[in-house]
Amino acid sequence: MPRSVTEMLVVVALGGNALLQRGEPMTAETQRDNVRRAAASLAEMVRAGHRLVVTHGNGPQIGLLALQGAAYRPDEAYPLDVLGAETEGMVGYLIEQELENALDHAVPVVTLLTQVVVDSKDTAFANPTKPVGPTYEEKEARRLAAARGWRIAPDGTGWRRIVSSPLPLEIPDMRVIKLLVEREVIVICAGGGGIPVVKLEDGSLVGVEAVIDKDRASGLLAEQLKADALLLLTDVDAVYRQWGTPQASPVQAISPDETELLDLPVGSMGPKVEAASRFVQAGGAVAGIGLLADAAKILDGTAGTLFLGRKVDDGA
């Protein structure tokens, strides 16, 4: 099928906190309701003529699975790479089914468990920054950290467990992803940043205890696919200057060289801005950050924050 003039190949990254928002009960029903709304936004983009590759976060989900495992047999809990594979399948299944329903099964959709290679010597293993699991009051978070050997950090108005988040270097499954995209299949892949693995001297792969940042993995995926656009969708409507202060103001458009002036949270908005900037610098037409419900509007520049390859004036 030839591509139309307006059609773009878009990598859409659905944030874990957008699929399970802060304060919501971590139930299957809640997640399905949120995924159904996400699927409606994605379907709108497909009907507008765009081709999609979808990724998603797993911070809340992988933390929940880790808690369930520890409650059963703490000494036999599954490692984070295995939990990452479980959440990739679980969330991917929900997105696949709801997107198929939203499109009346007119477009093929598939979920692909995706391994992502990281460096075993990455300094991130000694400096955890990635929030996972539910939000706690500070006192409860400190109690759990002492009891379970967690590292914790503030996240919004609460506290969460943080884990290592090494940089993604390679996507071994890229050949399969490209083949599916060429066949006009909507691919759901690299969920939760992908399953973290390291490459041994003999070339074999083995999982490691980490959670790769979904936005960085999505940026790498978009670059290697030579996608036209990268959308990073979350539970915040835009990137903000002076976030968390009374002077906070949304950024409508920005160039990569201007992002250094923003003071951004390391484990959440920081990687999104980094991924968006890198994608544009690598030749991508446009990147955007904003609300999941505003996906189509972000793409046409009427919502969220756009990243462009030149210095811009957003009026802020």
Neighbours of 50 (CB within 10 A): 22
Which residues are marked as active site?
Answer: 16-17, 130, 214, 272
Residue 68: its pLDDT value, please? 65
In the numeric block, the tokens 């000694």 are attached to 126
> Strand order of the sheet with strand 205-207?
115-117, 195-199, 205-207
User: Which tokens sit at 102?
Assistant: 């939203």
Residue 73: its pLDDT value, please? 59
Per-residue pLDDT of the chain (316 residues; tens, 9 = 90+): 333 336 899 999 998 666 766 667 777 788 888 899 899 999 999 999 999 999 998 766 776 776 666 555 556 668 889 988 998 998 999 999 999 999 999 999 999 999 999 999 999 999 998 887 778 899 999 998 998 888 999 987 889 889 899 999 999 999 999 999 999 999 999 998 999 999 999 999 999 989 898 999 999 999 999 999 999 998 889 988 877 778 888 889 888 888 877 777 655 688 889 999 999 999 999 999 999 888 889 988 899 999 986 544 444 4
Report the distance separating Cα 195 and Cα 210, nearest Å: 9
Residue 4: its pLDDT value, please? 39
262 contact partners, CB below 8 Å, separation of at least 6: 239, 241, 251, 273
Neighbours of 191 (CB within 10 A): 31
> Strand order of the sheet with strand 109-112?
109-112, 186-189, 51-56, 9-14, 229-234, 286-291, 305-307, 253-254
Q: Which of 89, 19, 10, 91 has the alpha carbon at shortest distance from 44?
A: 10
Residue 265: its pLDDT value, please? 61
- In this structure, are strands 239-241 and 229-234 parallel, antiparallel, or unpaired? unpaired
Residue 255: its pLDDT value, please? 86
